Chains A and B, each alone.
Chain A
């Protein structure tokens, strides 16, 4: 298991450098967003709907070109370096679980037999090793999301982007997936940028919360959660958790334009 360096000592992974994104010439989705992402960070983008969280992820994923500024990766970066999980599981309904997880490799020209072990291992990590041949419609919402996570991890990417992945799930499933996500992240040692509009989720998961405000979408401030990993259910009831939650809530209130 890779060791996680403390905040402030982690080598850089990428930098969003003064990025603006303007849609249709008048909708300012992002204004002057600068974000340094370091290796091993678990960053949450927290903010009200419409503040440009998804836009920021899409710029990092190179699905959108910034109007100004750019995203600079540290060192060379290739296709397998990025995994993505959307709010919907976004599985191909005509393909089995194993085939869905194979996809990132398949698109790089790897046959299934050559990456069978990786696919199995990834599904084992999310607890679905017995569902290789199931079709997505046979799975529950939480299980579909696990497949989606397995697919994002299968190539051992350096960075995983997650856009409100658990927002549509019930609370019990969400807590379970939050716990498992932290374990997975520790195990493969990747960096995560996680979009959420839940203060609780952001505090539980991340060590850096980037609070964003809308109109125009911008970074308001960063709240650091210095509680050590591993974090488990006990953390949810700890005093530290409550304190961080308060700090993040106040920042979020400010982001929504209310006096803190």
Chain B
């Protein structure tokens, strides 16, 4: 009896039964597969693509092989990276404005019922009207190309921030709200110490959506605005390459747009995790 107990305590490895071993193995396999499988898939798809193009002798102005797309990425890198820089700058600025505007409006609406009732419906209307249909008008009235593009991207991106932050500000635990009342909290204290922290997880959820949307907004705005003294973004490069039947460059530019979207999403996810990891359930890792 005693020896068994000591055995259990001193060498816990022996205590892992077959069931636990299976579970540990499954967990390890999944950790690897999460990364390996998508990479394998990508390699397979690229190989199949290369094979289809070669086997059917498809002309490169219809479907270039992956080697040509890679070549275009390499040869046009300077031009593409300039374009990516421009698109990225508009995207990030629009995202910043969406955060400031969306969260700011949410706080203002939360503090003033009058303003909320007056303006919230128009925020919804702005959101449900497709940006492609508003963009041409915007570029008629806004002289600056950059300002117009920012406005387009902002229009697409601010609403998720606004609506999720609004939801968060109203999702305060009602007992905590009572507690703040009992302790005589001012309106400002309630906002600062109770509503804003409660709203943070909601806001971050909206932010992740807004990140993707601001890229969409920037791309659409570029397509509508065309070029004009401010250099050319990725969307414009895609369009231009299309006119020239340079399909390989279209793919190369497209892959940069996709990479940018992935990067924004990943960065915002990490940011969100860092802010919430200490206390929020969504960031909770169950070990054991």
Contact = CB atoms under 8 A, between A and B. Distances in A.
Interface of A: 58, 61-63, 79, 82, 84, 86, 88, 90, 92-95, 103-104, 106-108, 135-137
B67 interface: no
Chain B, interface size category, equals 20 to 34
B269 to A, nearest CB: 19
A92 B176 contact: yes
A79 B179 contact: no
A82 B175 contact: no
A58 B197 CA distance: 26
Interface string B274-288: 000011110010000
Interface in B169-192: 173, 175-176, 178-185, 189
A108 B176 CA distance: 16
B183 A135 contact: no
B200 interface: yes
Contacts, number: 54
B271 to A, nearest CB: 16
A88 B173 CA distance: 10
Contacts of B61: none
A79 B284 CA distance: 36
Contacts of A61: 178, 182
Looking at chain A's contact residues, the main secondary structure is: loop
8 contacts: A62-B182, A84-B182, A86-B175, A88-B175, A94-B278, A94-B280, A104-B183, A137-B281
B193 interface: yes
B183 A103 contact: yes
A84 B184 contact: no
Contacts of A94: 197, 200, 278-280
B107 interface: no
A88 B179 CA distance: 12
Contacts of A137: 279, 281, 284
Given A90-B173, A90-B176, A92-B194, A79 B183 contact: yes
Interface string B159-173: 000000000000001
A42 B180 CA distance: 25
Contacts of A63: 178, 181-182
Contacts of A82: 182
A94 B200 CA distance: 10
A258 to B, nearest CB: 33
B44 to A, nearest CB: 43
A107 B175 contact: no
A93 B193 CA distance: 12
Contact of A107 (B189, B278, B279): B189
Nearest to A62: B182
Contact of B184 (A88, A95, A108): A108
Contacts of A58: 178
Given A92-B176, A92-B197, A135 B181 contact: no
Contacts of B194: 92
Contacts of A62: 182
B285 to A, nearest CB: 12
A7 to B, nearest CB: 28
Contact of B179 (A84, A93, A108, A135): A84
Given A93-B279, A135-B278, A137-B284, A107 B185 contact: yes
